[in-house]
Structure 1
Amino acid sequence: MVTTLLMLRFESYAFGQDADPSVNSTDESPAEIEFNSAFLARTASGKPIDVSQFARGNPVYPGKYTVRLSVNDNPVGKVEVGFTATKDPLHAKPCFDRALLQQMGVDFSKLTVNQIADIDSPNTCKWLTELIPEASVDFDSSDQQMSVTIPQVFMRRTARGYVDPSLWDQGVTAGLLNYNANAYHSSYSGDGSTDLYLGLNAGVNIGRWRFRHNGSFSSGVGEQTHYQSSATYAEYAIVPWKSEIKLGDGYSDGTVFDSFGFRGVSLASDDRMLPDAQRGFAPVVRGIALSNAKVTVNQNGNLLYETTVPPGPFEINDLYATGYGGDLDVVVTESDGTKRSFAVPYSSVPQALRPGIYRYSVTAGQYRDQSLQFKSNVLAATYQRGLTNIVTLYGGVQFADRYGSVALGTALNTQFGALSGDVTVASTGLPGQSRQTGQSYQIRFAKLIPATDTNLTVAAYRYSTSGYLSLADAMMTRDYLENGRPDWSIDREKGRLQLSVSQDMGPKWGSLYLTGQSQNYWNNGDTDASFQFGYTNYIGRVSYNASISRTRVVSTGEWDNRVFVSFTVPLGSASSTASLTTNVSHSDTDHASQVQTTLSGTAGAHNDFSYSVSGSYDHSDSDSGAGGSASGSYASSVGTFGASVGAATHTQQYSLSASGGVILHGDGLTFGPPLGDTNALVEAKGAKGAYINGVSSNRINGFGYGIVASLSPYMLNRIEIDPKGLPLDVELKTTGQDIAPLAGAVVKTRFETDTRRTVVLTVTHPDGTPLAFGSEVTNREGISVGQVSQGGRMLARGVEETDELLVKWGSGAGESCTIAVRPERQGTGVCN
């Protein structure tokens, strides 16, 4: 009962519709609640405790409040609501004007002329229940949360995930820097090499403008340190058009044609501005490392990513988006110098759109490929539109120096699956040759077959005639011919088949998957074929995976057929993060086999530390031997730092890595985890060390700032601070906020804190009996600074070291006492 009584003091105040129309809802006050004080301990004099202060609910005073608003259980975001006084001085009422009702999604066409006139009348505060029948408002002032219920008939129909554009936050003026440093040293039979890499992504935000530059420093044995600029550009969000304009270096939209690099200007629709339910991609790179290996990812000659991975399967899922097309070239460099490469397809999937939804893009500038000397201006435009639930039409044009192509296609959403097909006609003029004209036909298919639980993710086939050249092929051929190189060495694709299938076998039998692609060419008889077939399942908590793969080895140009089997055993309890993984692989190259066991996991209250220790044995026709490696990383509030070391027969390897982000803002520099495209700068003065969103690298620093990276643009993002472990003198006024940033924004989110001196005392009467529960504590000026809880426990905030506090548990004589505050913040005291 005592706990319930204390909680009721902070209960919300509901502004509801009056049952009796004769009652003026404007002056409605909450009914008084009666408590039976017999259930509570009596005062020292034997009198019952005065609980009248709990009888009127939660006071709400006139003024403006910034609240977290939800309508029909759907979050709207932070809005400012004005409260005006009523006849009850403790319970002001919220006012609803046209702007607020629009943000809430009210359909004005469903309101009467008189209702709209009331809404638009100046200097008039209208209660929601006076405007909309059966509506209700519930305001919790302790959490600044306002929950509104409105009959659906009065609401606009909006897609799930809709956030009113007026709530989108463009962020503050700020500078950004993202860094990813890696030093990798390896030696083989006494010959060593060291590679250094520093990737930098810098930017400046001014209003809606985003200025960005991406580049990297790299050096190796026998090489001078050089800097490669991969992109420099500016972006601006055009909200009314749900589009974005980009100036500088970029990649074209790849939904109709393959994406290409350009330097110029592009204007394109931005699906991220659409609600979740109306949104129609960098791929995940997966592979297997045999040692502590260096993995690099390139696209069109540009270095996109470099990292060090421990032995075993790896996954790279944090590539920056560079467009919808253009295969990724992945190179895995083992500690002994062996290199393996493979391509990850990066192309579009069936492009069905909802009825009325459209996408467009217009790109003009210079074709950009750093591997080519030939330069050409280029103009491209694409358009897609959903006509019905079944049909989507799309098409586009591309023009460059002596080159032109036109594409037209349709996507069908049928009961047999999603199907798209298109044809592209291209004409190319080449130096010293007659103009070539050809066609390329493409069909894509995706289908989930519920009866068998077979997921055909994408099946795509493209056939091109001998005279067809894509824009990329045409630019490369022109470059070769103009520089005296024969063009017969350029592979002209004839046919390409891509397939990705997964089959769920049921809860006991696991799942099968198959991925692969095959390509053949007009100018040679070779056929490239790569595939991976695998099976995954569980035995209790033990997971296992078996696969067969075919991969091209860069150093030999031969195909490597590999069999791989893996077992992972979780260690400890079900919530433990440690696991033991054993991998067995065999390759037909030198009949090489490897057995490898790895212990990995995380440690720390918030998984700040991660570690991996492994041992392996390798056998081949030419050599055999054992090896081992270890790696670890620490995710701090100023960045992530890691190291690795490994050794095997004739080889040694070690590396150091660091990654993080820096934001320059009006109050200084704030260091944090690696930044994403869209970020939040969290201010909470005095809350040093507090965790944000429960993530180890998201912490408030000594200056009162922290960074939350990789927010979802144009959507509501929840930012929460965990008050656990904060000093006694620090109180958060609120622990959570919702923000909806524009893409690329740095949104400054301020959490108010109360850092006044706080004391916690166990207070008794002179006879040793505890003070009455619920007694109010005031300072010399009569300002309330705290209350007495169970067992005479008193918490008072905002008191001086020599302050004298008045404790009052009733209004009569002898129902109060005073206590002198000691310099100590905690202890016991006697109230006289």
Structure 2
Amino acid sequence: MPIFQRELSFRIARRACATCLMAVGLTSKLSAAEVEFSESFLKMEGAPVDLKYFEKGSAVPPGTYSVDLYLNNVLIKRQEITFSVDASGQVKPALSLGLLKELGLNAGKAQQDGLIAADAKDELPFDVSAQIAGAAVDFDVTNLVLQVSIPQAYVQRYSRGYVDPSVWDEGITAFYSDYQANFNRNTNQGTKSDYHNLNLRNGFNIAGWRFRNESAMTGGTGTKSEFKSNRTYLERDVRRLKGKFSMGELYTPGEIFDSVRFRGAQIASDLGMLPDNEIGYAPVIRGIAETNATVEVRQNGYVIYSASVPPGAFEFTDIYPSGSNGDLQIKIIEADGRVREYQQSYAYQPVMTRRGNLRYSVTAGEYRSTDQPSPSFTQGTAVYGVTDNLTGYGGALLAQDYRAVNLGAGVNSSIGGISFDVTSSESKTLNGRTNKGHSARFLYSKTLNATDTTFTMAGYRYSTEGYRSFSQHVDDLMYQERAGFSAQKSRINLRVNQSLSQRGSLYLSMDETNYWNQQGRTRNWQFGYGSSIASVSYNLAVSRTQSDPMNGGSDTQLTASISLPLGGRGSSHRLSSNAISSSKGDSSLQSNVSGYLDDQATLSYSAQAGHSKRNGSTAGAGLDWDTPVAKLRGGYSQGRDDKHIDLGASGSLLVHSGGVTLGQPLGETFGLLEVPDVDGVGVSGWSGVRTNGKGYAVVPYMQPYRYNWLNLDTQTLGTDTEINETSKVLVPTRGAIVKTTYAAQTGRRLQFVLRAEQGGSIPFGAQGYDEQGKPLGMVDNLSRLLVFGVADKGRLEIRWAEGSCTVDYTLPAANKELAYERVDGLCRAL
């Protein structure tokens, strides 16, 4: 039954039931015994009433309805369920044994106890409330919820977040390319300088295998455009080992040893296949731009991210670094030509795991880096939950003239989470000298509930002079003697957050590094306070960087920022200001106004103005537009001596069996939905996603190995379109491109105003059917029947408990300006 009609039927049914119950003073839960109601309570304007099914205790008439299925108060799925009349005359849902198994019924245990026959067929109906003591099935017509209750002894015991591998979907065969393109033009004192960048993430999926390639093209004024492939690899899931197999240009895991780039093969566990056990990590890149600048993020010499930012603080949370360890190089290219560079550590440290859980990796290949030797190596690591509070981990790395062994443990204690490990290495240089050493690492995390103080990470590493990581050993192979080489001696990292109220908090971060054979140290610390009053937020911070003069010397920056809404409640427009003062003499003040220009939040604007001691006054404006096929960006700014133009586009191209579909930027795992030949259909939660002329749309992000609900936005459907099931559940594997199709019907929406041939009204609650016997809807108290998608000429049959009649009709020309058209119908008795 179409959605509009189904909802109307439910409203009528609820109204009838509620009125009857009030009339006779019954409780809200009907008994199975038959109850008779006086129809006089429901007669409206002389219309008779048909309450045959409601008198039996039923909430709805027979038919098929889309309902939410719950098992013991936990939502499992949404599905169409057929409600039919049983021997007692009640309308009940028909649940098969196979469906109950999908919901979580432990059929094996029930068969052992003699509650289910050994030869029971999954496709046959199964009355769980009659077969299993304590089980029940209740239908909440108000919320369209079918609640199945089963005693815990007969429910599969799964961990929270568990999704049975049998429903994992490896997706379709398809090719995609995800792109990010930028173009900038700086004009400084009449001299033009251009910069362009194109980042590509390409993929091809077939039969569970995933081919991936990452490439980038960069260039600009005075430099030749260069296209370089960052890495290419092939991978697939290995379900029995709860991991994945990969081969090509990859990165080793960084939990035990530092992550390195290599060419070879690897098999490693995938935490996403486990129940909610771990949360993935991605670094957040922060910095401050003094002008309209371009920011590049590099890893191992390859550009992995590029974006244009206005003056002030910036933050990137959508970085896709390779591997799980390795410092990131951030380059800020200012509009006046100045370039500032700094490093940000990126490390996914060893963490606690639950008892009996094993994380592993086995790697074999050759080291790969720009213009460096490529020794072959083998590496293996493991992390295992020994007890509820103790995790052991370690690994070994073997290569020509190099070997390293690691052993460590993590403890969950009353004073916090603590891990400690030691890595021993032995390596030989080109001149035959042997270096031996050790590196010890200590990590600590704790939340003090009494004071609401959180040590998000506190770490210390100490390395002896002879210790070499694998990448440092490869560096040694390039030189006979490395004059002035300074190995890292110690490093301390501290992150503390202190809540002061429900809205405010203090934060402190500090990093300090010392080196062997080198005077001085590198130190960076930040201290700040952030809070909000109503919808106004503000932040005060001070940061200091201390290093030797060759690396920029020391600098202290003070920052103050405030953000407040413009307009009434619910307005998207905000005003923000940011002030920066540096001990090197520069200071600046920047203000920005931003917001959305449409109700769908797809078109946004920003306008900024500022002044700095070094660069004078600046002003600029920009637009961002999220379209169904791409995200577009444009901006212009002008300062005292320079002008800046910024253009950008990001999006995706997907080639599949149904053709080519353009979409927004993609994540690692994504979906393709189809509403055949219906364009402009949106998806709830995705403001920029719409189906194209063929009915296809790309859903950019999905969570692998978990239930993903895709709900169509019914407000984007035209009045001539009906979709029987607007919600689907998908469970993709990592990197999969999963597809789902929504059955759609197009036609006219009509309201038949019925009258009986002998005069009078059609009974309230009577059912309408087409010539093929398909249910069309329910007659209301004014003898009106709302239908959808019927032929321009035909016959309707109206049935009620004590009779029936037919309506022959011929429709006039369609009027597309009306939400529905009214048609008079004479109902002749059969």
Q: TM-score, normalised by structure 2?
A: 0.89
**191-200 or 690-699, which deviates more:** 690-699
Structure 2 equivalent of residue 527 of structure 1: 521
* Distance verdict in 2 for CA 1:78–1:49, change over 3 Å: closer
1:700 Cα deviation from its structure 2 partner = 1.8
Quick one: which amino acid aligns to residue 234 of structure 1? L
- Tell me how far apart the structure 1 counterparts of residues 105 and 526 of structure 2 sit (CA, whole Å): 49
1:563 Cα deviation from its structure 2 partner = 0.8
Contact 1:380 1:397 (C-alpha < 8 Å) held by counterparts = yes
* Distance verdict in 2 for CA 1:220–1:34, change over 3 Å: farther
Structure 2 equivalent of residue 19 of structure 1: none
- Tell me how far apart the structure 2 counterparts of residues 480 and 698 of structure 1 sit (CA, whole Å): 54
The one of 675, 691, 702 aligned to 2:666: 675
1:710 Cα deviation from its structure 2 partner = 1.6
* Distance verdict in 2 for CA 1:765–1:351, change over 3 Å: same
- Tell me how far apart the structure 2 counterparts of residues 412 and 200 of structure 1 sit (CA, whole Å): 42
Structure 1 equivalent of residue 625 of structure 2: 634
- Tell me how far apart the structure 2 counterparts of residues 36 and 604 of structure 1 sit (CA, whole Å): 53
CA displacement 1:311-341 (0-9 Å, x = unmatched):
2222111112422211111111121122222
Structure 2 equivalent of residue 384 of structure 1: 383
Contact 1:261 1:367 (C-alpha < 8 Å) held by counterparts = yes
- Tell me how far apart the structure 2 counterparts of residues 10 and 202 of structure 1 sit (CA, whole Å): 57
Structure 2 equivalent of residue 659 of structure 1: 650
Contact 1:764 1:829 (C-alpha < 8 Å) held by counterparts = no
Structure 2 residue 539 is the aligned partner of structure 1 residue 545: yes
The one of 805, 821, 824 aligned to 2:811: 821
- Tell me how far apart the structure 1 counterparts of residues 586 and 531 of structure 2 sit (CA, whole Å): 26
1:405 Cα deviation from its structure 2 partner = 0.5
CA displacement 1:766-798 (0-9 Å, x = unmatched):
999997654544556665544444656542222
Contact 1:281 1:323 (C-alpha < 8 Å) held by counterparts = no
Structure 2 equivalent of residue 406 of structure 1: 405
**424-433 or 549-558, which deviates more:** 549-558
User: Secondary structure of the residue that 2:679 maps to in structure 1?
Assistant: coil
Structure 2 equivalent of residue 149 of structure 1: 149
CA displacement 1:792-832 (0-9 Å, x = unmatched):
6542222233446566778569x776654222344444444
Contact 1:67 1:79 (C-alpha < 8 Å) held by counterparts = yes
- Tell me how far apart the structure 2 counterparts of residues 645 and 123 of structure 1 sit (CA, whole Å): 64
Structure 2 equivalent of residue 40 of structure 1: 42
**712-721 or 699-708, which deviates more:** 699-708
* Distance verdict in 2 for CA 1:762–1:327, change over 3 Å: farther
Gaps of 5+ in 1: 12-28
Quick one: which amino acid aligns to residue 72 of structure 1? N
Contact 1:497 1:519 (C-alpha < 8 Å) held by counterparts = yes
1:178-327 mapped onto 2 (5 Å cutoff): 178-277=178-277, 281-327=281-327
* Distance verdict in 2 for CA 1:662–1:85, change over 3 Å: farther
- Tell me how far apart the structure 2 counterparts of residues 760 and 61 of structure 1 sit (CA, whole Å): 20
The one of 479, 484, 488 aligned to 2:483: 488
Contact 1:802 1:823 (C-alpha < 8 Å) held by counterparts = no
Structure 2 equivalent of residue 168 of structure 1: 168
- Tell me how far apart the structure 1 counterparts of residues 752 and 75 of structure 2 sit (CA, whole Å): 40
The one of 511, 515, 520 aligned to 1:517: 511
1:513-662 mapped onto 2 (5 Å cutoff): 513-551=507-545, 557-589=552-584, 591-620=585-614, 625-662=616-653
* Distance verdict in 2 for CA 1:146–1:53, change over 3 Å: closer
**308-317 or 801-810, which deviates more:** 801-810
User: Secondary structure of the residue that 2:474 maps to in structure 1?
Assistant: helix
Quick one: which amino acid aligns to residue 647 of structure 2? L
Give the share of equivalent positions with the same residue, in percent.
Answer: 33
- Tell me how far apart the structure 2 counterparts of residues 452 and 645 of structure 1 sit (CA, whole Å): 47
Contact 2:47 2:761 (C-alpha < 8 Å) held by counterparts = no
CA displacement 1:125-157 (0-9 Å, x = unmatched):
543235432112356899997542211233343
Structure 1 equivalent of residue 21 of structure 2: none
The one of 500, 505, 514 aligned to 2:500: 505
Structure 2 residue 97 is the aligned partner of structure 1 residue 96: yes
* Distance verdict in 2 for CA 1:61–1:308, change over 3 Å: same
1:604 Cα deviation from its structure 2 partner = 1.9
User: Secondary structure of the residue that 1:713 maps to in structure 2?
Assistant: coil
- Tell me how far apart the structure 2 counterparts of residues 454 and 353 of structure 1 sit (CA, whole Å): 24
User: Secondary structure of the residue that 1:158 maps to in structure 2?
Assistant: coil
- Tell me how far apart the structure 2 counterparts of residues 641 and 761 of structure 1 sit (CA, whole Å): 48
- Tell me how far apart the structure 2 counterparts of residues 779 and 165 of structure 1 sit (CA, whole Å): 42
**693-702 or 517-526, which deviates more:** 693-702
The one of 720, 729, 735 aligned to 2:726: 735
User: Secondary structure of the residue that 1:225 maps to in structure 2?
Assistant: strand
- Tell me how far apart the structure 1 counterparts of residues 621 and 783 of structure 2 sit (CA, whole Å): 55
Q: TM-score, normalised by structure 1?
A: 0.88
Contact 2:251 2:260 (C-alpha < 8 Å) held by counterparts = yes
- Tell me how far apart the structure 1 counterparts of residues 276 and 251 of structure 2 sit (CA, whole Å): 24
Structure 1 equivalent of residue 12 of structure 2: 6
Structure 2 equivalent of residue 25 of structure 1: none
Contact 1:59 1:91 (C-alpha < 8 Å) held by counterparts = no
* Distance verdict in 2 for CA 1:30–1:719, change over 3 Å: farther
**682-691 or 241-250, which deviates more:** 682-691
Structure 2 equivalent of residue 20 of structure 1: none
- Tell me how far apart the structure 2 counterparts of residues 670 and 144 of structure 1 sit (CA, whole Å): 35
Number of corresponding residues = 799
1:263 Cα deviation from its structure 2 partner = 1.0
* Distance verdict in 2 for CA 1:555–1:53, change over 3 Å: farther
1:353-364 mapped onto 2 (5 Å cutoff): 353-364=353-364
Quick one: which amino acid aligns to residue 426 of structure 1? S
Quick one: which amino acid aligns to residue 510 of structure 2? G
Gaps of 5+ in 2: 1-7, 18-30
- Tell me how far apart the structure 1 counterparts of residues 607 and 718 of structure 2 sit (CA, whole Å): 38
- Tell me how far apart the structure 2 counterparts of residues 32 and 116 of structure 1 sit (CA, whole Å): 30
* Distance verdict in 2 for CA 1:321–1:78, change over 3 Å: farther
Quick one: which amino acid aligns to residue 359 of structure 2? R
User: Secondary structure of the residue that 1:432 maps to in structure 2?
Assistant: coil
CA displacement 1:426-476 (0-9 Å, x = unmatched):
011001141110111110111111111111111111111111111111112
- Tell me how far apart the structure 2 counterparts of residues 635 and 521 of structure 1 sit (CA, whole Å): 48
Contact 1:49 1:810 (C-alpha < 8 Å) held by counterparts = no
User: Secondary structure of the residue that 1:724 maps to in structure 2?
Assistant: helix
- Tell me how far apart the structure 1 counterparts of residues 360 and 634 of structure 2 sit (CA, whole Å): 45
- Tell me how far apart the structure 1 counterparts of residues 566 and 781 of structure 2 sit (CA, whole Å): 43
- Tell me how far apart the structure 2 counterparts of residues 109 and 804 of structure 1 sit (CA, whole Å): 52
CA displacement 1:619-651 (0-9 Å, x = unmatched):
14xxx5211111111111101011011110101
Quick one: which amino acid aligns to residue 680 of structure 1? G
CA displacement 1:731-752 (0-9 Å, x = unmatched):
1111212211111111111112
**242-251 or 271-280, which deviates more:** 271-280
- Tell me how far apart the structure 2 counterparts of residues 704 and 289 of structure 1 sit (CA, whole Å): 43
